[in-house]
Amino acid sequence: MKKVMVFGVFDGVHEGHRHFLKEAKALGDYLVVCIAQDHVVEHLKGHAPQLDVSERFDHLRQEDGVDEVVIGDHTLSTWEAVKKHKPDVIALGYDQTLLKEDLERHVQSFDWPVALRTVSAYEPNTYHSSLHNKES
């Protein structure tokens, strides 16, 4: 079984998120979605998420193709969720450049091989999360 892991805030699942999840799932057999904790979202985006972590968790559990939802690390760059779930592939959104750079610095320290794959954008001028949240 090939396990794929993705990361995100998922503050109101939209079509861009669904495209991301579908493309990630196509990279393997089992999709683990790791959602950022509320304080991490506030640190990264400069504002609290509209939906708290438990609401975002529940919404993602209902999405097609999502096999497991987990809560992200309390502290950035520790990669405890990755170490716990040991994915074969980490799928990244087209706009997750900082996340990709951080993972590239740490991937050699994992004790199993992990492939990093970037998923294509889906109407980025319409469904980019920062645009979506401004409209709400």
| Mean pLDDT per 10-residue section of the chain, whose length is 136 residues | 98 95 98 98 95 98 97 96 98 96 96 97 64 40
What integer pLDDT is reported at residue 129 of this predicted model? 52
Tell me the CATH number of domain 3-135, given options 2.130.10.10, 3.40.47.10, 2.102.10.10, 3.40.50.620.
Answer: 3.40.50.620
Q: Which of 61, 10, 65, 14 is nearest to 38 (CA)?
A: 10
Gap between the Cα atoms of 40 and 85, Å rounded: 20
Q: Which of 74, 73, 75 is nearest to 84 (CA)?
A: 73
- Domain boundaries along the sequence of the chain: 3-135
What integer pLDDT is reported at residue 122 of this predicted model? 86
What integer pLDDT is reported at residue 123 of this predicted model? 74
**Distant-in-sequence, close-in-space partners of 7: CB < 8 Å, separation ≥ 6:** 34, 35, 36, 72, 90, 92, 96, 99
**Running DSSP on this structure, what letter comes out for residue 121?**
P
Helix (H) or strand (E) holding 89: strand 89-92
Which pTM does this prediction carry?
Answer: 0.89
